[in-house]
Structure 1
Amino acid sequence: MSEDDVPLSAPDTAKELRFSLDDLPEVREFAAVQARSKGMPEDAVGDFVVALNEVATNAVTHGAPEARLRLWGDRDGLVVDIHDEGKDWHPEGWPGRAGPPDNATGGMGLWVARKLSTDIYLETGSNGTTVTMRFTV
């Protein structure tokens, strides 16, 4: 999955969690438990949770008050998508591709997620925004 690829569809067996800003601690715990259950090495779980938290935080602070997380494993690793129904985001190019400017205090979430995931895909439009990330297990 990359900028030129079509994102994967979540299987019926995907674990799903709906969340708001106040739920972010539970989102991180849910993700860590799921990653471990899919065989992710313990030394990789921290980076996985950081990437997922960055995207989840963006979803509920910039997208919509509630969002959805889906997580599943496949033969290539662990896949997670985070969807919000915010409709006002119209990015130019591929957000998160360039690093933040010197002394930045925000605007790094997608860049961090891109650095920590194996692949990342972003889709935004009239139905909101979905960020799909793959991680090696």
Structure 2
Amino acid sequence: MAELAFCLPDLPDVRDFAEAHAVQGGMTRERLADFLVAVNEVATNAVTHGHPTAKAVMRIWCVGRTLVVEVHDEGHWDPETPPGETPPAPFATSGMGLWVARMVSSDIRFETGAAGTFITMFFKV
């Protein structure tokens, strides 16, 4: 398992970290762009909506032919509906990150509680 703590200015490093581990895990170049969009959206949410003074953490590992990406921040939220299930409105300029992540991952899970928020994405490689 690889791990990277990050804050907003570190997002380019987050993308580089994710890309290196995705390629190492066997992800094809054709799928890499969508993967990086999903990772960037979730990581950006973590550092813009999570706890304002804490860093977020990304963990990446492989389980068989599946690449698992977990993003954790110390923020708390209570969504009224499952996040990312509703497509953004036409001409929306925000609110599409989790929807995009759900569309390009093979599965996505959300957990929020006393330990903060965990978003775990699964990608077939």
Q: Give TM class, smaller chain.
A: over 0.9
Name structure 2 gaps, 5 residues minimum.
Answer: none
How far apart are the structure 1 equivalents of 2:81 and 2:22? Answer: 30
CA RMSD of aligned residues (A): 0.9
Q: In the TM superposition, what is the alpha-carbon distance from 1:76 to its structure 2 partner?
A: 3.7
- 1:1-137 equivalent positions in 2, closer than 5 A: 14-65=1-52, 66-87=55-76, 89-137=77-125
TM superposition outliers: structure 1 runs of 4+ over 2 Å: none
Q: Which amino acid aligns with 2:103?
A: K
Q: TM-score, normalised by structure 2?
A: 0.95
Aligned length: 123
How far apart are the structure 2 equivalents of 1:23 and 1:77? Answer: 26
Q: Identity of aligned pairs, percent?
A: 55
Q: TM-score, normalised by structure 1?
A: 0.87
The SS at the match of 1:103 is coil
